[in-house]
Chains A and B, each alone.
Chain A
């Protein structure tokens, strides 16, 4: 009966390095979302998966950011050549069917710090 889980909870890296952030959605949820929350801001949408495919990636800030969900369950957000401006809390959410009014359940987030 677990909720959405995210690993690691904290990640410190150096500028220019590559990082991967993992999200385990609620079992049976077909829709998965990634958001990014910078200090003092609300979460901002990055990408939405329906099953294995990215249905909407309009929020990814640039081509250094990429996400996959190969089996329609676990998702990985990948950030190449990290920059200090990438420092934020990365939140993952899942919903049952991805319908607009489905409740999105959030994980606790991964706090990424780029030094």
Chain B
């Protein structure tokens, strides 16, 4: 039972344009959400997070939006750069019960020149 879903396995975007990566979750106990970025042969690297008490969090070129009623979050990268090409994982935590991360299956982003 996949509690965190990333339905797009891959995405290709031109350099300078906006990349939008989507994530859906089913567990209503999740209240803290994160995006991790992974390059080949490396471990995932934390990118940005959002608490369920917010609907938006911004950090430089990266913005995460949370729609609790729809159980949906998205990561916006603007402008996209070739170095952003990686696999992006959405993850969720149910705070107060466990600090383990539940990950989605990932979306491979390719930023083309």
Residues of A bordering B, CB below 8 Å: 4, 31, 33, 35, 40-45, 48, 56, 59, 91, 93, 95, 98-109
Check: B22 CB closer than 8 A to any chain A CB. Answer: no
| B44 A98 Cβ-Cβ under 8 A | no
Q: How large is the interface on B (under 10, 10 to 19, 20 to 34, 35 or more residues)?
A: 20 to 34
Q: Mark B23-62, 1 if CB is under 8 A from A, else 0.
A: 0000000001000100001111110010100000000000
Q: Which residues of B contact A41 (CB under 8 A)?
A: 105
A42 to chain B: which residues have CB within 8 Å? 4, 6, 89, 91, 103-106
**A/B pair count, beta carbons within 8 Å:** 62
Interface SS of A by simple majority: loop
Interface string of B82-111 (1 = CB under 8 A from A): 000000010101011011111111100000
* Chain B residues close to A by CB (< 8 Å): 4, 6, 32, 36, 41-46, 49, 51, 89, 91, 93, 95-96, 98-106
Are A107 and B43 touching (Cβ within 8 A)?
yes
